[in-house]
Amino acid sequence: MKDLEKILSELETKVKKIEEEGDLNNLRVEYLGKKGCITALSAKIGELPIEEKKTFGAELNRVKSKATELIEAKKKEIDDRILNEKLAKEDIDVTLPSTPIPTGAPNILENIIEEVEDVFMSMGYDVVDGPEIEEDHYNFELLNIPKGHPARDAQDTFYIEDETMLLRSQTSPVQARTMLAAGGDKPIRMICPGKTYRRDADDATHSHQFMQIEGLLVDKNISLSDLKGTFDVIAKKLFGEDVKTRFRPSYYQFTEPSVETDVSCFACKGEGCPICKNTGWITVSGAGMVHPNVLSNCGYDPKVWSGFAFGFGAERLAMLKYGVNDVRTFYQTDLRESKTFDRKDV
Ligand code: DAH
Query: From the CB of 197, is ligand 1 less than 6 Å away?
Result: no
Task: Give CA–CA dist 101/106, Å, rounded.
Answer: 16
Q: Please state the length of the chain.
A: 346
User: In sequence order, what are the residues at sequence separation of 6 or more whose Cβ sits closer than 8 angstroms to the Cβ of residue 79?
Assistant: none
Query: From the CB of 176, is ligand 1 less than 6 Å away?
Result: no
Expressed in angstroms and rounded, the spacing between residue 286 Cα and the centre of ligand 1 is 5
Query: From the CB of 170, is ligand 1 less than 6 Å away?
Result: yes
Angle between helices 37-44 and 2-17 (to 10 degrees): 170
Burial class for 241, CB neighbours closer than 10 Å (0-12, 13-18, 19+): exposed
Q: Whose CA is nearest to atom 6 of ligand 1?
A: 311
User: In sequence order, what are the residues at sequence separation of 6 or more whose Cβ sits closer than 8 angstroms to the Cβ of residue 289?
Assistant: 222, 223, 224, 227, 255, 256, 257, 306, 307, 308
Are 137 and 162 within 8 A, CB to CB? no
Three-class HEC string of 312-337: EEHHHHHHHHHCCCCHHHHHCCCHHH
- Integer CA distances (angstroms), 313 to 171, 201, 318, in order: 10, 17, 9
Cis amide bond preceding 100, omega within 30: no
Task: Give CA–CA dist 272/175, Å, rounded.
Answer: 36
**Sequence-ordered alpha helix ranges (H) in the chain:** 2-17, 21-32, 37-44, 50-89, 108-121, 136-139, 173-182, 224-239, 292-297, 314-322, 335-340
For the CA of 171, the nearest atom of ligand 1:
1
For the CA of 311, the nearest atom of ligand 1:
8
Tens place of pLDDT per residue across the chain (346 aa): 778 888 889 999 999 999 999 999 999 999 999 888 888 888 888 888 888 888 888 888 999 999 999 999 999 999 999 999 888 888 788 888 888 887 777 778 888 999 999 999 999 999 999 999 999 999 999 999 999 888 888 788 999 978 899 999 999 999 999 999 999 999 999 999 999 999 999 998 889 999 999 999 999 999 999 999 999 999 998 888 999 999 999 999 999 999 999 999 988 888 988 888 899 999 999 999 999 999 999 999 999 999 999 999 999 988 888 888 888 888 887 767 666 665 444 3
User: In sequence order, what are the residues at sequence separation of 6 or more whose Cβ sits closer than 8 angstroms to the Cβ of residue 73?
Assistant: none
Task: Give CA–CA dist 282/277, Å, rounded.
Answer: 9
Are 327 and 204 within 8 A, CB to CB? yes
Three-class DSSP category at 286: strand
Task: Give CA–CA dist 110/108, Å, rounded.
Answer: 5
Task: Give CA–CA dist 137/340, Å, rounded.
Answer: 42
For the CA of 308, the nearest atom of ligand 1:
13
Half-sphere exposure of 177 (CA within 13 A, CB side): 21
Are 38 and 64 within 8 A, CB to CB? yes
Whole-prediction pTM value? 0.71
For the CA of 154, the nearest atom of ligand 1:
14
Half-sphere exposure of 322 (CA within 13 A, CB side): 26
Q: Whose CA is nearest to atom 12 of ligand 1?
A: 310
> What is the 8-class DSSP label of residue 123?
T
Q: Whose CA is nearest to atom 7 of ligand 1?
A: 286
- Residue 103: phi and psi, rounded to 5, are -120, 155
Cα dihedral angle (316, 322, 326, 332), rounded to 10 degrees?
A: -100
Query: From the CB of 318, is ligand 1 less than 6 Å away?
Result: no
Query: From the CB of 307, is ligand 1 less than 6 Å away?
Result: no
Are 257 and 289 within 8 A, CB to CB? yes
150 sits in which H/E element: none
> Is the four-CA dihedral 78, 83, 87, 90 of positive or negative sign?
positive
- Residue 32: phi and psi, rounded to 5, are -115, -5
Q: Which pLDDT does position 266 carry in this prediction?
A: 81
